[in-house]
Structure 1
Amino acid sequence: MNKIIVYEHPDFHGLSMEFTDDIPNLVQKSFDNCISSVKVIGHPWVLYEHLYYKGLQWVYEEGEYRNVSRHDIVSSLRLITEDLSDPKITLYEHSNYKGKEIVLTCETNLCYSSFDDMASSHIVQKGAWVLYEHPDRGGRCITARYGERVPDYGALSFHDCVSYLRPLKPGKGTVTAEVLLEKKEEKVTSVIIDSICGLNSTDHEQTFSTSLSKEYESTITENFSFSNSTTISAGTTFSLDVFEVKNTFTLSVSNTFKVEKGKSESHTETRKVNITLPLIIGPHTKLSVSVIRKEVDVEVPVKLTITRGKHSVIEYGEYRCHSGLSLETEYKEEKI
């Protein structure tokens, strides 16, 4: 979801309204010239001084802004919808894309180049950009969007003014996860974690009334790994619907595993198993009872659909789970 919440007063006080589409005329929404703070979710928004996207403009990326640049002056709003993942812009020295040119793909201070206060036209090949009059994002600014060809800055009163520019960044976006169960890999190992022994050296059957009850601590550890080239930023969260393995060694995991980029999650559970010796052990017989933990390791690829604005990309990650919660006992008799 891409939206902006606008507030009448600073610090998110007073009346508020929420928008998810371009608003060319805030008069029709009864919210003209009264915005003083905003919250942006998803892609950036541009705020304009006048109706129908005219006059001064200010750009706000995802975040919370307790004070906008100019209070009580905004009359229209526009959502940036472009794919912002791979920006590129070409600036030209003269109008109609003539003279010297410079191609940029990242935030740049033109004061450190030979192109300061020189641009008079541009073409945006990818993404969306903000062009500033002064260094460090100062002075007036204009937005430049994908596919846009501006042959002459004269109409914008921006000839030979650009000293700084930056590409707009996408919001965190939404992530949808699909577990690819058909590609699941599973490995089960058995580990003896305890044993007890009963011994009958006589020529007669021997009766026992001994029982043993102990608690054993076992763990489940779940984690999620992203591809090395992931575009998902730290702090992004999404839920993963976790499966259950339908066999003898069922994974006792939560139905939903919450993934957060930059963190791993694990938890410990305590399981109790009761071990009871048989009442009768035969003559010259040794009885061994072992407590066995079945450890299950599962790896499953996960398809991630990342949606930012109106654009979606697909990546792959991997869910991993190690479970040692399956405990059982094994009895073995030997003649002595």
Structure 2
Amino acid sequence: MKRLLAAVAVLATFAQAASAGEITLFTDSDFRGARITIDRDAYNLNDMGFNDRASSLIVRSGVWQVCENRDFGGYCAEFGPGEYRGLPRFNDRISSVREISRGRGYDRDERHGGPGWRGDRDERRGDWRDERGGRGDAVQLYAGPRFEGPAVSLSGDLRSLNDVGFNDRAGSIVIHEGRWEFCEHGDFRGECVVFGPGRYPFLEGMNNRISSMRRVR
């Protein structure tokens, strides 16, 4: 009986480890440079020799909270499964990370999820349901930073955001699905940036400058 209980305990430990999330941090953008893979809460990356060094990251499974100070202090954001080639708000400023939700793993062909996304994907229908149970649009633009002010929800390419009364108004963005290119002029001209699934409370150089958008993957 004791052997049986011991075997069950070992299997439970392995099952828990297998379900744990995983995040990889890189010292340079575009997943270059030194790296570290983490599968448990890291209260202080200084203990791992990686404090304030990350410039890109990949979340392979789970949803992870990334914070600028140790012990999950300071400014924090949530990153779901996917690739993040650059970290404008967190470049060389990450000091602690922890998994806050477990879920499906990262699929290079789908890139679902994203920081702060709390909806669930309906695997049978292949669409997204928002927190109220309704079908969610792929992109939401907000007039103010931190997802404040008037907003518009979109699911397709737009050569001119004038068509929806949102030209040069976006101050923050939420992307539920896909990778999208946002450009400062109509017809996808001028300076452009590409964002994948996630929550972007600040748009840095593109604040109030987006005039067109299209899905690129």
Which TM-score applies when normalising by structure 2?
0.41
Determine which structure has the larger strand proportion and give its number.
1
Determine which structure has the larger helix proportion and give its number.
2
Which TM-score applies when normalising by structure 1?
0.28
